[in-house]
Structure 1
């Protein structure tokens, strides 16, 4: 009977090398790339090596990889990690980055995730670097949590630009699609960091992307429970970045970065809320401009001396901006205290005129900016169309009012319900256009299917 040989004693951990680099620890890997913490025997310092998971097919492909990597290494931006070396060993190409005090986002996350106010400034820096790289003609193609290096000082830089082996076919359309895929991957990194667990339980963002439309049918949304409270506006931004409808996602890194920066300015660390942004613009341009024909109405007001307030109110009601301005003036705390307005709100133009007097009406009329204020022709057309709908809503409300209700009060209250939309259209016209686009339904993907609904107005506003 043969006796099997005794098992070999376990060998001590062998020291592994890639050329002059001692491989210390695997920091992360995906289907396309891997990141190693290494010791450089030449400089005796720790570096991060980022390599493709497979070797280039031949010498020409290897040389093309090295040329592309060296070209992308020259892209200089604070959001991109500076390259220490580009090289190859035994046909394994690599890009080396200084480790210094930085750790990867994957190392920082753990299972509890990262608080929004800590994470978003890092993602903003990475998105700025990514946008700069895209505008320089480079794409990343494998953004993972391990590709973001975060220093003790809070500086976040993107590593691995140009490492993933790319299919060069397709020209500019393919490059645009790859850039959009980068933005989607960055959104998935945010999802992972905020939720504390990867989307679809897949740490590799490229595998998640393959399961999202148009390649798959999965849906990725931030969970409502977790270690950290996620404010609704930020939740809408992250969910839009990973939306199942391609048309709803951020199409480039710059728009994602601006959305996140806007959240930081309003609901993040700096506080103040979106109302503060609106107030800043109102100080410069007023709540609304005078409507077309405002100069002639102002002239009529200046010529009036003893006409009744009802007739004056009819003139004011023709100008939505002037009507809102009078209500704002008369309902201000200081004004109401000085004018003896009592505790109730002033909701009629007649009452506002009685309290402010003809001189107050004149001041309000001359304080408005002429139509269309700072808007260009296209944005002015959009505002005019919205004003027409608001006036129509006021007239419909008058027709439907119950008996005994003041028609002027009903008209003004109906218009005031759209005051927020009017203010957004006037002060944030580009954002208003984005909100309308996100609210539009998408045509069905297949015959017989129903339309894909657009976002709600609130969700689209948060996402923009």
Structure 2
């Protein structure tokens, strides 16, 4: 008779009260997340619990009270709690497993998401988190397991108020002051930035699974700098890279401090990337409808339009007056070109103020002036002064462009195109002064450290990406398109990119665009610290010298003219060969428009 070996005893089930523990989904220094089976209800749940047991009955009571308050936060992107309870003084919050899988589970199961999809997941998480923060709650342990994704890519936040403050056992919870929610909320936003980095890069940040450990290693607490690497599963667009890097910037003051600010930048990029013309563009167009593009600086327009004729001298005087008011000039451009489009002149764009005034008439000019808000509109004094400074810089650029323009080009046309190359910047300062201030702040050089004695600063484009999710030229072009300006003009109002070489102009439109771009870069150079101005002017001149046929002498004369020129005044163009006829010049001057 053969001997039979005794049966191997079954492995005892690990349990937590009535829950069968099936898998540990997340373990951090502050919390645990388990996948469990609930024998009472016959379903799988996710159990979120603190890493440390509350150290007294009062602490346990406080934990349960705060968790129940967090569970009352109702939002589409905050998971509803299935149950809040305790097992042998270990508190927990349970969530229905049917809500989805954790971010780590999703990333392990499928290929790396496209950047647009990853940004969409994080944006949904930020929506829920922003709502919770505004309701007075913080998460305090954002990990990959805190983001739950279902089959339709809907994201929900779990674990709100699970990782709470640890106080001494004898503390009086009726009088203790919890750590400021704002401080905890800012750490939540930083961790969401790390989640975005983790999702886009396809690997753990600093090779750490626990994001709390990453936070401890980052500056200013530690020595590590977290930036999105270049070896990623998919190419990362520059705006998204700028947003991700700002969220984890080594300088605390440069990061997003509110989930809502982070969300706005991410949504701005997502909607622009999806060609929805959404985000900041939609907000800006809405403000244009309600309060106009810029406030007027002119008073008493009726005194100049009281006459009944449009004699040449009268039209010229009105043109001078209009060009001194940037808001009124743009309003006439908008009205005249919208009228041309409605009358079937699809190929015509008028930028000459005398012609515009003749077309719209005195009554039309008065209506345009009356439609504008008086200075400074809704702006507070500090923001109004910033707008005034910005308009003065643009006016200076316009005068420089006139002095450098090729022969045969209308001075008013060149001036207005220079203004429109700054349209996005002007509108941002007027309608979103706080965002404009954020962009300026991001462009300041970070504080030097021993490791980085000369830290680079963000350029304007990267700073705008980090705040708005799109660049300022895109804002300006969207408004110009909304006004019905033609494709040629839309091409001209985009500045030459700073990182792109300057080639020979391919035609009239290119020549005007490059001339105005040079003028704007020269004004930017004048805004540099004094010891860098000369070098900045020379660098801009070298960039455009071959393409435009200008040298440092012409540039210096344009920067320091012998007499002040009014906006739009016909300054003498550089001497050149006889000018050949140009259909574009005729269209912009309004010679073809009826």
The two structures have a TM-score, normalised by structure 1, of 0.83
- CA gap of 1:266–1:50, structure 2 versus 1, over 3 A, is same
Q: How many residues are matched?
A: 451
CA distance in 1, matches of 2:9, 2:157: 38
Gaps of 5+ in 2: 1-5, 169-175, 468-594
Q: Which residue of 1 aligns with 2:145?
A: 146
State whether structure 2 residue 461 is matched by structure 1 residue 458.
yes
| Map 1:222-371 → 2, pairs under 5 A | 222-268=228-274, 270=276, 275=281, 277-293=283-299, 296-303=300-307, 305=309, 306-308=311-313, 309-329=315-335, 334-335=340-341, 346-353=350-357, 356=359, 358-359=361-362, 362=365, 365-366=368-369, 368-371=371-374
Q: CA deviation at 1:347?
A: 4.9
Match of 1:383 among 346, 368, 387: 387
- CA gap of 1:278–1:15, structure 2 versus 1, over 3 A, is same
CA distance in 1, matches of 2:69, 2:380: 43
- CA gap of 1:155–1:352, structure 2 versus 1, over 3 A, is same
8 Å contact from structure 1 (residues 326, 364) kept in 2 = no
Match of 1:438 among 418, 439, 442: 442
Q: CA deviation at 1:300?
A: 0.7
Q: CA deviation at 1:22?
A: 0.5
Moved more, 258-267 or 401-410: 401-410
Q: Which residue of 2 aligns with 1:47?
A: 45
Q: Which residue of 1 aligns with 2:76?
A: 78
Residue deviations 1:116-150, cap 9 Å, x none? 44344443333233223323333211111111222
Q: Which residue of 1 aligns with 2:490?
A: none
- CA gap of 1:215–1:186, structure 2 versus 1, over 3 A, is same
- CA gap of 1:271–1:113, structure 2 versus 1, over 3 A, is farther
Q: Which residue of 2 aligns with 1:137?
A: 136
8 Å contact from structure 2 (residues 305, 362) kept in 1 = no
Q: CA deviation at 1:93?
A: 2.7
8 Å contact from structure 1 (residues 288, 368) kept in 2 = no
CA distance in 2, matches of 1:165, 1:276: 39
- CA gap of 1:73–1:329, structure 2 versus 1, over 3 A, is closer
8 Å contact from structure 1 (residues 32, 52) kept in 2 = yes
8 Å contact from structure 1 (residues 329, 335) kept in 2 = no
Match of 1:96 among 78, 81, 94: 94
Q: CA deviation at 1:272?
A: 5.3
| Map 1:216-227 → 2, pairs under 5 A | 216-227=222-233
Structure with bigger RCO (C-alpha 8 Å, 6+ apart): 2
The two structures have a TM-score, normalised by structure 2, of 0.66
Q: CA deviation at 1:49?
A: 0.7
Q: Which residue of 1 aligns with 2:211?
A: 205
Gaps of 5+ in 1: 1-7
CA distance in 2, matches of 1:340, 1:177: 55
Moved more, 9-18 or 44-53: 9-18
**1:83 partner SS:** coil
Moved more, 174-183 or 364-373: 364-373
- CA gap of 1:456–1:360, structure 2 versus 1, over 3 A, is farther
